[in-house]
Structures are given as C-alpha cells and as structure tokens.
Structure 1
Amino acid sequence: MFLGDGMSIATVTAARIYAGQLKGAPGEENNLAFDNFPHTGLSKTYCVDAQVADSACSSTAYLSGVKGSIGTIGVTGEVARKQCDKVNDQTSATSILYWAQKAGKSTGIVTTTRVTHASPAGTYAHTADRDWESDSDVAADNLDPSRCQDIASQLVNNSPGKDINVILGGGWREFLPVNASEEASGRRGDNEDLIKKWALDKEARGARYAFVNDRQSLSNLDTQNTDFLLGLFGPSHMEYHLGADEEEQPTLEEMTRTAINILSRNPKGFFLFVEGGRIDHGHHETLARRALDETVEFSKAVRTADDMTDDGDTLMVTTADHAHTMSFSGYPARGNDILSVAGVSDVDNIPYATLSYANGPGYRKPDAGVRYNVLTDDMNFAEDIKYHFPSGLPTAIETHGGEDVSVYSKGPWAHLLTGVMEQSFIPVAMMYASCLGPHTTMCTPRRDNAPYHLHQVRQDSLLKEATPLR
C-alpha cells in the first residue's frame, strides 16, 4: 500500500507535468507510475467528527477499516482526541498489518516522516492523540505516560509494532533519552533507549537484525540475512529530497527496494506500507516545488515496487489520506512551466501563478491596495525551492482540503477499488483479496494449488460484513 500524504488530484496532475518537464518535455502527456494502474476510484476522506480529515483519523480508516475522530489513531469514533482513558481493547481498531502478521506474512513500514508520525503509526498504534510520539509529549498534556502509552513505546514494546520486520524513516529523537549523547539528544523523559531495547528484543529471539542510520549502511546491508531492520535517518522527519545530503539520506525508492528485498523472502508473502509523507509538508508550507518533487520521488518508489513484484500475486494500492488547497488554474499555454505564471489578470493587469493555495504562509498583503506581483517581486520564483507560492488568505500553515482523493490499484481483486468509496473500505477490500482478517472463512483452497479462491462480492456487502474491524 502506497500512501501519498496530502496527494490531492491537483497535486497528481501538477506533479505529472513537473516530472515531464524535468525530462525536457511539455509535461502534460507524461505519466506517473500509478497513472498506468488499470483500476481507479475515489475515496471519501471525512472523519467521524470532522468534515476535513487529518492524517491521524484517516490512517485508521485506510488501514483498519474504521473511521475515527480527528487527531486519534487506531481507535474507533468512541474515543475523542486526548481521551486516553477511553482507549481499550474494545475501542482499539486492528490494522491490516496486524492481520498480515497473524497470517504469517512479513510486514514493513517505510516513510519519509518520523516513523511515529500519524500515517505510519496507523499500522501499529492505538492512541487518543497523534502528538503523543514520546512520553514527554504525554507528560506535556499533564497525563501519566504509564497510563497513556506513547507511540514510540508502542512500536518497540507492543504487538504488532515489535513484530514489524522492516521500519524505515526518520525520528530517532522519539526513541532516545534527553541528553543521550553529545551527538544524539532525544526527547524521552523516562530515560529509555528504545533503539537499544528494540535490538535486545531481536537478540533474545535469536533473529538476525540490523540498525542503520545513513544511506551507505542501508546500501551495504545484506538483505538476504536480515530478518529485522530498523533505519532512522534523522532526529525528526527526513529532509526534503530537494536539499537532502545524498551521502547521508537514502531516497524513498531505495528504502522501498530494501524493504521488498527483505520481506519477499517470506514464502507466505508480505504487507508493506510506504508513505511519501513530505508531500503534505511541502503543501503546508506552500512550497509547491518541493511538494511536487516529493510526489515524483513517491512515484519512483511505486514504479520500483511494481517492477519487483508480480501482478499475478500482488495487489498494489496507491492513494492519499486527504487533499490540500493547492489549485491549478488559469489558461497557461501547453508546455508552460508548471511553476511559473499562468497569465495576467483581466481585472488588475497583474500576473498570477499557475499554482496557488486557498490559504497559508504564502499570503502577501496588498501594498496600497495593489495586489502582489509574483513576476516583478520574485523573478526566479519558479527555481527557488524555498519560495512560498501565493495564498488567498493568511494562516500559519496551509490547511488540508476536504475533496475526495484518488485510489489507483492493480493486481488480484483490484477491481473492487473502483467507483466512489468510503476510505474505510480500502483495507476491507485489501484484506478480502489477501484472505486476511476476521473473514478468512470466505477463502477456500484452489484445486490448482494457488493460494485461494474468492467469491465475487459487492462492495456494499463487504462493508456490511466487515465493519467495524477490531
């Protein structure tokens, strides 16, 4: 499952053109890797209590088949944000990753954000607040970390987190104590070194494990003799691809390749969650160039996974958790630089950018009633990776958008993910196709020794049978 965080339809279109123009083409005719998937649909992303979703409640939906409250992860709508006392076995939603482990499959998470961030945490955590990534975060809300277990602790100490075979991303600060060393000062107040604890657990199992923290060590890894891999490439989120130190930081494509090389050794198969998480961050900062570049990097990872797997036995799903407010507008000529101006307003005769945001830090207050002129004031704005694209109104960070997002799929039973669907249907269809979860009785052995034979069902009957999944 590939998750482009904040990858709205406008983002996909603009990134497609951006990628084509990087090759010297007009761009419009270009395709991203998932554009070529044969099945497409639309996902409704709202939360139980919010019209516009965040990455927390949405992760519960597309990983566990249950819609939750905004700001919560891996729990049902009975739990509102910060209601730690309501998180229990009855209100916890189990993810497709959990069910994959139960079926004997290998599992992995790969992200460009902190591995404890909202999207990847949806595979393993149950929490009333997405911001409780370390025990210090829980204590900052005047709650007891021993009762409200933080996300990093859940990853290392609880199932299914401690049984995940491959964990790659950023965020080592959430795993280390404050003042752990001169080079690596963490955020934990309990004095726990969770990286060391992770390693001790694997050692106790007699498993072959590795911890890596730079591109070279990841590249040198013997994937054929590694059962568990933890890779943390930075104290917080990984750097944007544009501007990252290539010697220190691996690409999303490289991390995905490594993960598949390890996971695919399991004859029972695997479940892998891959997130292009910094697409979302680029949009929040109205850094459109960076958001589009992160989408292109995400597409490269999808293409690599597609090349490394077989459509006959691998279901691949690419989607987004929510949209953003970036619009693609005006009447620019074919092949016009997607990061440049679309034209000149017929009202105030001032140029405007092709890409702009409804809100965010890119807002410029009019000077003496005259609108900001991107062409005059920022002659090189199309090349500046730190340029904040224009916003309609000022907000500290740009907000999410509430429109539907695309679902692209290929492989066995991909046709189930077509039409307009609830976001919570996505993992239900994936589990059905893979014979995972509480409804494995619907699967019967095939006479030709293939794994399973599944009976054709309608989307609405699946939802009726499989909701909620806990």
Structure 2
Amino acid sequence: MRNFKSKSSVVLLLALTTLTACHSELQKPLTQAPAVKDTTSSAQWFNQGKQLAQNAAPVANTQTAKNLILIVGDGMGITTHTAARIFAGQQQGLLGEEYTLSFETLPYSALIKTYNTDQQTPDSAGTMTALVSGVKTRAGMLSVSSDAERGHCGSSQGKSLATVFDLAEQQNKATGIVTTARITHATPAALYAHSPERNWESDNMLPEEARKNGCLDIAQQLINHQQGKQRLEVIFGGGQRHFLPTSEPAGKRTDQQNLTAQWQSLPDHHLLTNKQQLQDADLTHGHWLGLFANSHLPYVDQRDKHTPGLLDMTQAALSRLKHQPQGYALMIEAGRIDHGHHAGSGYKALREAEELDQTVNWLLNTIDLSETLLIVTADHSHTLTLAGYPTRGNPMLGVVFSNDDQGRPETKPYKLTDGGYYTSINYRNGPGAVALQRPSVDPQQALQPEYLQQALVPLESETHGGEDVALYAAGPWAHLFGGTMEQHWVYHVMRHALLAE
C-alpha cells in the first residue's frame, strides 16, 4: 500500500488524489463542447495552495530497496502527459485540467535529458539502454556501448553493457517485464539482449556479416538468457511471430526453429497465449512467457476478450514476483503510446496513456513504498503540441471553443482567418500533414478515434521529439531525483537504492 514515510506527505497525497478515483472501464471521449462548470471560489483556490505550503517535505527513505519497479510510458513527453491528464479527467465527467494522474502524486520528480550519443532527437533503443545500464549509447543499439557501430556485429563484440536486471539477478531477486509492445522490441529487449541493431528481432533480419561473426537475434538471446544462472521469472507482451518458424502462420524465423517450444523445454518454463490462460495460471513459481499477440498488442479499443491489457499483465506479473523472498525488479512499458503518436493519432496515444494511469493507480494501492523504489518516466518525447486558446474543459480531442471578450465560453467553435476550425492538439510532422490551403477541421470528425490531427511537415510516420521528459518517483532513495538530470543517471539511482552503497 502507499507509504511515503511521512504523515504530512500522506495528507498531500490525499489532497492531490481527490479526483483520481480508479474506474474499471475506459470510456469514450466527450463529443461536444464543455458543459461542466467550475464552481471553485477564489478562497478555495487560495486554500488549496496554502495547504500545500503548510505540508512538510516527505522524509527521505535511505533504506535498501528490496524491490524496484521501473515504468516507461514510451513516447510520453510533457505534452502527452498534460493532454493525457485532461483527457483522463474528461472521461470521468470533469473539466479535465484539475485531474491528477496517479503517478503525479509521487513526491519526487525531475526533468530527464533524452539525447543519444549520436542523435539530438533520440530513439528508444539508445534511451532505454541509458536508463537500464547507466551508459549513454548510439541510437538503435541495445545495451552495447557507443564504441560499437550500429548494425555491425563485429564491432559490438566485447562491448556489452550490464543492466539493472543483471544486478538484481545477482542479488537473487526475481525479474520481470511487462509490455504492450513486442517483447523483442527496443524497450523490453534492452534488459536481456545485447545487439548493435534493434531491428534484429528474429534471425530473418540478420545480415550475413552478423551471422558470420556469431551475433544472435533478440528472440534467440532471450531463450539463451534463460539457459544461464540468471533468468527472468516473467515476460509478458506481444511478438509471437519472432519465436516461430516461417512454416508456421505468420512466423518470421528462417532458421525454422520454434523458440516457444525451446522455452517450454526448459525446466519449469511455461507459455501463455491468451487472457484466460493468464488468469488460470498458478503463478506462485516458475518462469512464464506470455505472447499475447503476433506483433504488438492491439490498441486499447481494438483488443478482444482474449487479449490481456497492461493492468491484467501487471497484476499477474506481480503475483509471481512477490513470492521471491529477496525481492524483485519489474519493468512495465506502455509501449503503444509511442505507436499512436507515430500514426499521428492523438486519440490512440492518449487512450494508451490513460491505461497507464490506471495501472499505476492500482500499483500505488498495492505495493509497499517503504521497501519499493517506484519510478515512472518516458524514454523520449514526440512532436505533439497543445496550443491555441481553448476554453477551460475544451474536449481534448475536439475542435477549439474559445472564450468571448468577457471570458465566457463561446457556443460555436473558434473560426480562424482561413475560415476553418482547428484542434488544440496537433503534430509538428507526420501522416496528418496538410497542404495550403489548410482544410478546416470538421468538429464531429475530429472526435472520431481514427482521426489524424493536422501536422505541418508531411511524413509517413510522425517522429520523436527531442525535449526533456518528466520522471516521478517514490520509495527508497527516490529523493535523489530532482532538477534536470541526464538519462543515464536514473540507472545509478536504482543501483544505489538496490545496494545502498
């Protein structure tokens, strides 16, 4: 359960989470101009701030962390974070701006620089490597140092970087990964694989040079990892295709190996492929591979009853990891926030972020923060913008309704000088790019899940953003987070907390 080691910080937490009630089912977006009115008085606004100022700072916890939970909202930059807050609040009938995401209640925060050693705007492989190894590296490379050349196997030999999972497993802690992406995708793979190329998810992508020099694909590296002394207890996500031969439907492996069969041939190793199996499994012991989709898990709205969500997988993973007397290390990735943005769909990205909010809310009501270091951050940002002058409570996905000269909400959408409407969230680039003359936004079409927000620069896929991302933390040694920090420093706080050096 939540424990911030300080009565005053608990009071602050309760104040911040008044509007953060967990809801069991994600709802549809608002479909009209805001109807909710803010009745907060000037005295109430003032007293809210006064209460905050009167609370003492939380007491620093300098105990050794028994457990570690690192949560990554892939692509959840500051604008995504803000838009998700408003969006999630509006699903609960609020104006939205006053809502508090579950992880925003954590007592420590920082801004995190995200650049790679070779790119100003980073990719997930390089950023995740920095987070879990304590060393910055090149874009596209997984837990190998920047001395290597991307995509060149020979140059990466002897350049592998140890990760926080290596450290945890040396301490005999249970380790687990939960992701809505493929488990061989960059973010999860950085914890168990070492590769100069993130795209080598299965052997069909290995070039001849890599084969000659003995580099293994990422899926094979997972199986080999399990054959050593240090083994994952849980890894849940998608990506079945990279474990199956091309002779199987949708299989990608040209070596014709069935890695799911190899996994199950290992002692006490079990395979899960659907939600019912996950719910029925006895997770008190053993090693569990959950492959719940051929590629990435479907987006929230596109999942059927057979596909578990982020919360389902997190609950199952924790039910396995908590049985380890020495503790555990768990990485949770909301991977499809990133994919929604690449597709130019603010709706998809915000729905995935809302699911992350609900998952963290469950965790905060379940884990003991006196012995668990909990970190919520992003690996990088995206080009999403939140701008214009929409009225308070403007539907996050809708066209802009502005205020009149007296500050009252207009009854019709704001019309630009080009005669058209516009939305407050847009992209710098991507598939939603428009040409001059800019077409107007249809107010009803803008609210549809498949609508692509308008963008400036036409690209097949919207790109990452290069700005800092936010980090929130609680638990042992979380007080070391603050100010603006390099991304690879996050690893060193985790290491310090686990070792209490």
Using structure 1 for the length normalisation, give the TM-score. 0.87
Q: CA deviation at 1:86?
A: 1.5
2-structure distance, mates of 1:115, 1:2: 15
1-structure distance, mates of 2:416, 2:359: 42
Report what 1:211 is aligned to: 271
1-structure distance, mates of 2:128, 2:149: 15
Amino acid at match of 1:362: G
Report what 2:219 is aligned to: 152
Report what 2:405 is aligned to: none
Deviations 1:335-383 (A, max 9, x none): 11010112546542422111000000001223xxx311012xx63321x
2-structure distance, mates of 1:429, 1:145: 39
Deviations 1:393-444 (A, max 9, x none): 1001000000000010001110111111100000110110111xxxx7x3xx
1:46 paired residue among 104, 115, 121: 115
Describe how 1:76-225 pairs up with structure 2 within 5 A. 76-89=145-158, 91-139=159-207, 143-144=210-211, 147-158=214-225, 163-180=231-248, 184-201=249-266, 203=267, 207=268, 209-224=269-284
Are the aligned partners of 1:5 and 1:321 in contact in 2 as well (CA < 8 Å)?
yes
1:423 paired residue among 481, 487, 500: 487
Are the aligned partners of 2:430 and 2:463 in contact in 1 as well (CA < 8 Å)?
yes
Report what 1:5 is aligned to: 74
Report what 1:449 is aligned to: none
Report what 2:302 is aligned to: 243
Q: CA deviation at 1:88?
A: 2.4
SS in 2 for 1:352: coil
1:300 paired residue among 342, 351, 358: 358
Amino acid at match of 1:154: Q
Amino acid at match of 1:414: A
Stretches of structure 2 lacking an aligned partner (at least 5 in a row): 1-69, 402-413
1:351 paired residue among 418, 421, 426: 421
Describe how 1:285-296 pairs up with structure 2 within 5 A. 285-296=343-354
Stretches of structure 1 lacking an aligned partner (at least 5 in a row): 443-470
CA RMSD after TM alignment: 1.6
Structure 1 residues 333 and 161: alpha-carbon distance in aligned structure 2, compared to 1, 3 A threshold: farther
1-structure distance, mates of 2:213, 2:184: 18
Is 2:473 the counterpart of 1:409?
yes
Are the aligned partners of 2:153 and 2:209 in contact in 1 as well (CA < 8 Å)?
no
Amino acid at match of 1:361: P
Aligned positions, number? 419
Structure 1 residues 157 and 127: alpha-carbon distance in aligned structure 2, compared to 1, 3 A threshold: same
Are the aligned partners of 1:135 and 1:145 in contact in 2 as well (CA < 8 Å)?
no
Are the aligned partners of 1:162 and 1:198 in contact in 2 as well (CA < 8 Å)?
no
1-structure distance, mates of 2:334, 2:239: 15
Are the aligned partners of 2:152 and 2:210 in contact in 1 as well (CA < 8 Å)?
no
Moved more, 424-433 or 215-224: 215-224
Deviations 1:18-60 (A, max 9, x none): 1111111111111111011110001100001110110010110
SS in 2 for 1:76: coil
Deviations 1:252-280 (A, max 9, x none): 01100110110011110000000000000
2-structure distance, mates of 1:161, 1:13: 43
Using structure 2 for the length normalisation, give the TM-score. 0.81
Structure 1 residues 70 and 335: alpha-carbon distance in aligned structure 2, compared to 1, 3 A threshold: same
Are the aligned partners of 2:170 and 2:230 in contact in 1 as well (CA < 8 Å)?
no
Give the % identical residues.
40
